[in-house]
Structure 1
Amino acid sequence: MDDIPALLASLPARLSAIPERWAASTPEAPALHEGGRHWTYAQLRHSVEDAARRLRELDVRPGDRLVVVGENCALQVALIFAAARLDAWIVNVNARLSAREIDTITAHSTARRVLYLHASSKEAAAHAQRVASSAVTIDGMGELLAGPLNHDAVAEATQPGNEQVAALIYTTGTTGHPKGVMLTHRNLLFIAAVSSKLRGLTQLDRAYGVLPISHVYGLASVALGTLYAGAALFLVPRFSVEGLLSALKDDGLTIVQGVPAMYARLLQTVGGSGTPLPTQLRFAYAGGSPLAPSLKHEVEQLLGTPLHNGYGMTESSPTISQTRLESPRQDDSVGAPIPGVETRIVDADGVDVAPGQPGELWIRGPNVMAGYYREPEMTAATMRDGGWLNTGDMARQGEDGALFIVGRTKELIIRSGFNVYPLEVETALNAHPSVIQSAVVGCGTADGNEEVVAYVELDPRQPVTLEALQAWLAGTLSPYKCPSDIIVMEALPAAATGKILKGQLRQMAQQRKHH
């Protein structure tokens, strides 16, 4: 994979070329599996073409944003490719988000339409009930519900080649304000191509698609990476250990990608790594949060194959580095940068640090986003001269080029592969009449995951139970953002300026965890 210029030159103009290519060369090859249903590449292409026709009838135009509320299913994949055919921007939103969160994303993206994949997600069906929706049938895939047309939506200009924006992926920023990351067809096709090549994917592979396609890891690396190679994708709306065990046994999976917490739950359920599972796996991969070497070792024993590790972020589509198929590692490295991606490790002044020393990680390559939608200041704060993206993460690089993530310059908490920003949780807590102030920190767990821990100062004149606070948060936040612990303090530790000393709280959370 040394010839990156040739790879880039070979990338098509649109994501929709993926099913078209395989439908032309191997039409009967399996493409998608969902529950008991199966689609060949020819059938997928047919449904994509019908979905594109339906979207035109719904008055979705080139440059429009199309919000799709759902969970992993074949119809979601068809809509991604159909939007690409129209030059519309797909905005995949997990149906498990709260109504407030979905409304915020819809408003910020000024979506032309919102589609609800109600047949495969009861949460999507519930969201559809809040609006006037009409049923639309996609031939070969089934029914969806279309929300009303937004007449005020302004279509963005389309770009030549594959620099057109393909997907708008929302992450909630440290301000608690959602950030829409603009990823181009080139960004996503580059990651799909590199991801499939580094995994050595062939058309005989069968990959497990349980990571949410509404997140960039599930979209680019898993879904698009698998289909780019002409392999088969087994779509699952949400993770369960029983579902994974069944898929390993009955579906002959050869590729599994997940987050460390998923593997930890697998180990916990089967009672450890003492009895290896009989599988056809040739590749297992973890990403999305730190992978503890102890967990890695146990999972490798259980699955009988190396557990590869990697690192990325939404703004880099997402992959920045990963360990290699031919040289698995035993440490906690996230591997070498993927081909085509350059890295710098710098100090606070943007000067390269000495080899092996930790610093802030900057990256540059074909995977770097086009920017944050409608947020030029935020984009400018993240990008650096020369096309470099400041990841905001602290890393060091080994002599062999492998990266080690040593910390975060931001306060981001990664819980089961999902991003949680403390300020958003604090804002929700502080809105409760009994809460004077709050501070939210991450607390590392033994399996490499992080828990969300909230410290609160309460108003004694307005008593409230912890159960009531949890219920309050459950009404406004996604479940993964809700704290696992809420701890009441008479006064939060603060500096003379009044700034809460979160470093102390993080230490307290870790100490509490170990007692």
Structure 2
Amino acid sequence: MTRPAFLRIHDVPAWWAAETPDAVALLDDGRSLSYADLQRAIDDAKAALAGLGVLPGQRVLLVAENSASLVAFVFAASSLGAASVLVNARLSAQEIDAIVAHAQPQAEIYIDAGFKEGIAHALRRHAMPLDCGLAGSVRAVVAAQHFEPLPEDVAALIYTSGSTGKPKGVMLTHGGLLFVATTLVAYRQMSAADRSYGVLPMSHTMGLTSVLLGTLVAGGSVLLSARFEVEALVDAIETQGLTLFQGVQAMHTALLAHLRRHGRALHRGRLRYIYAGGSPLDPTLKAEIQALFGLPMHNGYGLTESSPTLCHSRFGEHRQDAAVGPPIPGVAIRIVDAEGKDVAPGESGELWASSPGVMRGYFRDPEATQAALSGPWLRTGDIARQDAEGNVFLVGRIKDIIIRSGFNVYPAEVEAVLNAHPAVAQSAVIGREVARNEEVVAFVEPKPGQVVDGASLQAFLKDRISPYKRPSQIVILQALPTMTNGKVERTALKTMANAMPRRPEAVPSS
């Protein structure tokens, strides 16, 4: 069966509903929806949005967590020529209000996935019940009376900041999302027999593009999960027929801890592909996960602004390092210095990328758009290098670099060494300003049942890392704080570090 070249994201479920109507598309809270069922749900949601006056070029705010109803509304908005503004219901009231004010949605939709946050936001925003024939409580409110239209090819707005700064709405196109999804289907050799675990939030591009859209492009099925629970992941792998699991490193870390805590093995079932994204891959975690599954741990790289994937490790390749792979077909990259000139091969610099998946820009923010885009190139803000085989290695974020007594310290490098300690589950390193300098602060989460302290970790680091890279302070936490997408919440750690007493520090030697 030859798939067509899909032009709009809603073309994907519509085509499979016509070709294989009885095939399973989604599994959600014990329910199984065929592609025909999904298309009926999309049609019902489309009628409800049309009744709210949604027109082409407008925005539909979707405050929700992963569910079949959310999937239906995403494709329904697309079929009306509108764009979805995808917002996780676990965001604060302040963050959601800032997004609403900036996005100017014609309609706000609040979908109850069984958690208190969604319905609380709906009531606070005076949303009323919406009769749309979908499972769960759906509430809506008509919002903007005047709006700034979007470019016609924009499918989704995803906001990259909230209460921590000015929200930026990333305008992602139908063509860009479909380019990434279709390319990953080929890269991962996916088919209609595949089943993915839909636990990464669809309010982020990994969950939306790599998991949901990619799996549906292949004609496969997605087992939806609103929130990550390690017991549910184990059950999904062992009994629900998962073939692909994509998660962030915190999920893989939690899985290992769970198995150790209960002293049990994991039966792999049909699982054939595992992936960790969202942050530079820790080599120790990679080795442990590969040993657990007997499969290569795949890795990749991308940004919200690129829909997201730019690089991906070669399918089936066993590597011991943490390379994120070469650029995927259709993507070009440059490694440049501070003046935008290409660096010598193998040297580190800022990664620039050109891809069909690159955003149209930031909605209503031409200055930020101009700063991020240079002709066809997206300035990623990430420091990387590329080896002779084309593999890309992430070094760190420009904004995360710690400048300590004139030396550059990359958090990922320090974290990799800390994570190699047998008692450490994961760590996060941040910079903290001190008088005329910046110091390194490390936060460490021990493995279950393990006891570790700052002194023993400092001793462990002594012969493994340069003096200027060693933390001035190591803080032990039972669990590192995480955001809704599973990534470590570094902003919260910075706030915590800044509230701690500063320690006098001698200028380190190299």
Report the TM-score when normalising by structure 1: 0.79
Tell me the residue number matched to 1:79: 73
Q: Aligned in 2, Cα 1:449/1:489: closer, same or farther, shift over 3 Å?
A: closer
The answer to whether residue 101 in structure 2 is matched with residue 107 in structure 1 is yes
Choose from 90, 106, 109 the match for 1:96: 90
Q: Which ranges of structure 2 fall in alignment gaps of 5 or more residues?
A: 403-410, 420-424, 436-480
Alignment map for 1:62-461 (pairs within 5 Å): 62-156=56-150, 158=152, 164-172=153-161, 176-271=165-260, 276-279=265-268, 280-385=270-375, 387-411=376-400, 444=415, 446=419, 450=428
The answer to whether residue 493 in structure 2 is matched with residue 483 in structure 1 is yes
Q: Aligned in 2, Cα 1:179/1:46: closer, same or farther, shift over 3 Å?
A: same
Deviation sequence 1:88-108 (CA, Å, 0-9, x none): 110110111000000000101
CA distance in 2, matches of 1:336, 1:76: 33
SS, match of residue 390 in structure 1 = strand
The answer to whether residue 15 in structure 2 is matched with residue 21 in structure 1 is yes
Displacement of 1:257 in angstroms is: 0.1
CA distance in 1, matches of 2:140, 2:500: 47
CA distance in 1, matches of 2:241, 2:72: 24
SS, match of residue 138 in structure 1 = coil
CA distance in 2, matches of 1:322, 1:248: 23
Q: Structure 2 counterpart of 1:291, which letter?
A: L
SS, match of residue 271 in structure 1 = helix
Check conservation: 1:134, 1:147, Cα contact below 8 A.
Answer: yes
CA distance in 1, matches of 2:388, 2:144: 54
CA distance in 1, matches of 2:331, 2:262: 36
Q: Aligned in 2, Cα 1:488/1:58: closer, same or farther, shift over 3 Å?
A: closer
Check conservation: 1:456, 1:489, Cα contact below 8 A.
Answer: no
Deviation sequence 1:428-484 (CA, Å, 0-9, x none): xxxxxxxxxxxxx99846256536787799xxxxxxxxxxxxxxxx9xx99945338
Deviation sequence 1:350-376 (CA, Å, 0-9, x none): 111111111111100111110011111
Q: Structure 2 counterpart of 1:61, which letter?
A: L
CA distance in 2, matches of 1:175, 1:124: 21
Check conservation: 1:254, 1:283, Cα contact below 8 A.
Answer: yes
CA distance in 2, matches of 1:389, 1:42: 39
Q: Structure 2 counterpart of 1:353, which letter?
A: V
Q: Structure 2 counterpart of 1:311, which letter?
A: Y
Q: Aligned in 2, Cα 1:489/1:72: closer, same or farther, shift over 3 Å?
A: closer
Check conservation: 2:253, 2:426, Cα contact below 8 A.
Answer: no
SS, match of residue 169 in structure 1 = strand
Displacement of 1:274 in angstroms is: 8.5
CA distance in 2, matches of 1:449, 1:197: 34
Q: Aligned in 2, Cα 1:300/1:394: closer, same or farther, shift over 3 Å?
A: same
Q: Aligned in 2, Cα 1:287/1:68: closer, same or farther, shift over 3 Å?
A: same
Displacement of 1:272 in angstroms is: 8.0
Higher relative contact order (CA closer than 8 Å, sequence separation 6+): 1
The answer to whether residue 55 in structure 2 is matched with residue 55 in structure 1 is no
Check conservation: 1:274, 1:302, Cα contact below 8 A.
Answer: no
Q: Which ranges of structure 1 fall in alignment gaps of 5 or more residues?
A: 1-5, 159-163, 414-440, 458-473, 494-503, 509-515
Q: Aligned in 2, Cα 1:286/1:55: closer, same or farther, shift over 3 Å?
A: same
Deviation sequence 1:320-379 (CA, Å, 0-9, x none): 101121323221100111000001111111111111111111100111110011111111
Displacement of 1:261 in angstroms is: 1.2
Check conservation: 2:110, 2:119, Cα contact below 8 A.
Answer: yes
Displacement of 1:492 in angstroms is: 9.4
CA distance in 1, matches of 2:50, 2:154: 18
CA distance in 2, matches of 1:14, 1:149: 25
SS, match of residue 483 in structure 1 = helix
Displacement of 1:177 in angstroms is: 0.9
SS, match of residue 343 in structure 1 = strand
CA distance in 2, matches of 1:406, 1:273: 36
Aligned residues between the structures = 439
CA distance in 2, matches of 1:192, 1:136: 31
CA distance in 2, matches of 1:354, 1:184: 34
Check conservation: 1:382, 1:389, Cα contact below 8 A.
Answer: yes
SS, match of residue 350 in structure 2 = strand
Higher mean C-alpha deviation, range 323-332 or range 255-264: 323-332
Check conservation: 2:296, 2:316, Cα contact below 8 A.
Answer: no
Q: Aligned in 2, Cα 1:341/1:272: closer, same or farther, shift over 3 Å?
A: farther
Q: Between the two proteins, what is the percent identity of the paired residues?
A: 46
Report the TM-score when normalising by structure 2: 0.80
Q: Aligned in 2, Cα 1:382/1:157: closer, same or farther, shift over 3 Å?
A: closer
Displacement of 1:149 in angstroms is: 3.1
Tell me the residue number matched to 1:12: 6
Higher mean C-alpha deviation, range 219-228 or range 295-304: 295-304
